[in-house]
Structure 1
Amino acid sequence: MNFSNRALVLFSGGQDSTTCLAWALSRYPQVETIGFDYGQRHTVELKVRPTVLEHLRALSPQWRERLGEDHMIDLSLIGKISNTALTSEAAISMQANGLPNTFVPGRNLLFMTVAATVAYRRGLDVLVGGMCETDFSGYPDCRDDTMKALQVALNLGMATRLKIETPLMWIDKAATWWLAQEVGGQALVDVIREDTHTCYLGERGTLHEWGYGCGHCPACELRAKGYREFVNAKAMP
């Protein structure tokens, strides 16, 4: 484990970013979080963030000591210049370019740039994000090549040596549940299941076995499928 660096985690309040935050807390002596209000349709994810942070602190005295300041950034301009299913009431569908209309162009690029700026000011040298190329919808800004190129660009542009970590890049959603189990045990799995939010439509009326959500949007389907695979694997002798 590396205890020489300090991390800033892109934390939305969802399953992936919560798992990444726990992963960072198990590795780095100082961890801060950053979230973005970009006019997302599922603003409920912003409302659950404080609860998730509180519960993560309660899981471990070490995590409580390591988890520092949370930064909430207004990036509502993304919602103003985007016309996507995540920033409007449009029905989720595929576009002519082969990408779902849940893709918000430039979102992760801007997130990382703003996070790098905050990290520069705070003296943090690791950025942690939940981008994944295994279970994803084809978003080009979630790819490993994109993150590697962005790391080079940020360091050239700011004369820094920031490192971008993406612990979920090559694992599927079932393995993401397993990673949570390994890092924080069943207590962390329960926090993710009960407190985090992933549903694109912002539904939190029903607690399913895998968490809250509408159950039929792409985010819910992926989360539910991964959870079932995780539970089935745990039940095997």
Structure 2
Amino acid sequence: MTAADDKALVLFSGGQDSATCLAWALDRFGSVETIGFDYGQRHRVELDVRPAFLDALRADFPAWAGKLGADHLIDAGIVGKLSETALTQETEIAMQADGLPNTFVPGRNLLFLTMAAVTAYRRGIKHIVTGVCETDFSGYPDCRDDTVKALQLALNLGMDRRFVLHTPLMWIDKAATWALASGLGGDALVRLINQDTHTCYLGDRSTRHPWGYGCGHCPACNLRAEGWARFVADAPQPV
């Protein structure tokens, strides 16, 4: 095994899914770095919670603390400037004529994974982890398994590397995502993700719900709330 084989770079937005993926990577690799993107998102508060979550992860999980390395925050403002979506403008969330929600930011995940691969190339990292998912998602085409597999091939051809793109959440729903976090870090990790991550599309951290902070009515909040309810109902003990 080469040094690169035991290193991972996790796309960590500050939300539930990417936080769970970060724990997944820390459980599997000897060295883990994180990368986030500022693309002019209206829920920019997700970037504000990232440092606190990383600090808490180091403090509360000493077995992982020594594995957690550098965090990279990338200016991807061009994404917000090129797109006209409900995630980058003060626009009401709605479905579009093409059947996609207007929260879809064209090319976002393609660009993010490409930037992550460039960073991984420079840092000598082989494994790239992202929280995209086909099960509980809004129909975004850049979250599909076929898209990720095609991009992995393109990145490896274009950079002459053998990156591996990992998608731990691809085939599970939000309830199973909570359960995955519980299996990785117990109630302590579930509480940390519940309290210190941010997933609400509107960036609302003024209201605390049983499942975490959010407006309580956007698509992201609805998915998180429904998944939490199923997770709690199936949990052997209260969390």
Common fold by TM > 0.5: yes
How high is the TM-score relative to the length of structure 1? 0.97
Question: Any idea what the Cα deviations from partners look like across 1:47-97, whole Å, max 9, x if unmatched?
Answer: 000011011112222210000000000000111011000000010000011
Counterpart residue identity of residue 155, structure 1: N
Task: Quote the Cα distance in structure 1 between the aligned partners of 2:57 and 2:144.
Answer: 28
Task: Quote the Cα distance in structure 2 between the aligned partners of 1:33 and 1:193.
Answer: 20
Task: Quote the Cα distance in structure 2 between the aligned partners of 1:17 and 1:200.
Answer: 15
Which residue pairs with 1:233 in the alignment?
A: 234
Q: Does 1:26 align with 2:15?
A: no
Which residue pairs with 1:208 in the alignment?
A: 209
- SS in structure 2 opposite 1:26? helix
Query: Please, which runs of 5 or more residues in structure 1 have no aligned partner?
Result: none
* Superposition pairs of residues 117-132 of structure 1, within 5 angstroms: 117-132=118-133
* Superposition pairs of residues 25-104 of structure 1, within 5 angstroms: 25-104=26-105
1:5 positional shift: 2.2
Question: Any idea what the Cα deviations from partners look like across 1:73-122, whole Å, max 9, x if unmatched?
Answer: 00001110110000000100000110000000000000000000000000
Question: Any idea what the Cα deviations from partners look like across 1:122-167, whole Å, max 9, x if unmatched?
Answer: 0000000000000000000000000000000000000000000000
Which residue pairs with 1:143 in the alignment?
A: 144
Query: Please, which runs of 5 or more residues in structure 2 have no aligned partner?
Result: none
The alignment covers a number of residue pairs equal to 234
Task: Quote the Cα distance in structure 2 between the aligned partners of 1:26 and 1:200.
Answer: 29
- SS in structure 2 opposite 1:161? coil
Task: Quote the Cα distance in structure 1 between the aligned partners of 2:194 and 2:52.
Answer: 13
Which residue pairs with 2:199 in the alignment?
A: 198
Which residue pairs with 2:6 in the alignment?
A: 5
Task: Quote the Cα distance in structure 1 between the aligned partners of 2:198 and 2:61.
Answer: 22
Task: Quote the Cα distance in structure 2 between the aligned partners of 1:233 and 1:32.
Answer: 33
Which residue pairs with 2:221 in the alignment?
A: 220
Task: Quote the Cα distance in structure 2 between the aligned partners of 1:19 and 1:61.
Answer: 17
Counterpart residue identity of residue 10, structure 2: V
Counterpart residue identity of residue 89, structure 2: S
Task: Quote the Cα distance in structure 2 between the aligned partners of 1:169 and 1:22.
Answer: 16
Counterpart residue identity of residue 15, structure 1: Q
- SS in structure 1 opposite 2:73? strand
Task: Quote the Cα distance in structure 2 between the aligned partners of 1:201 and 1:136.
Answer: 17
Which residue pairs with 2:187 in the alignment?
A: 186
Task: Quote the Cα distance in structure 1 between the aligned partners of 2:140 and 2:192.
Answer: 27
Counterpart residue identity of residue 119, structure 1: A
Task: Quote the Cα distance in structure 1 between the aligned partners of 2:195 and 2:64.
Answer: 20
Which residue pairs with 2:109 in the alignment?
A: 108
1:172 positional shift: 0.2
Shift >6 Å, 4+ stretches: none
Counterpart residue identity of residue 215, structure 1: G
> Superposition RMSD on alpha carbons, in Å?
1.0
Which residue pairs with 2:168 in the alignment?
A: 167
- SS in structure 1 opposite 2:201? coil
Task: Quote the Cα distance in structure 1 between the aligned partners of 2:63 and 2:233.
Answer: 31
1:206 positional shift: 1.2
Task: Quote the Cα distance in structure 1 between the aligned partners of 2:224 and 2:57.
Answer: 20
Task: Quote the Cα distance in structure 2 between the aligned partners of 1:39 and 1:135.
Answer: 24
1:235 positional shift: 4.6
Identity %: 68
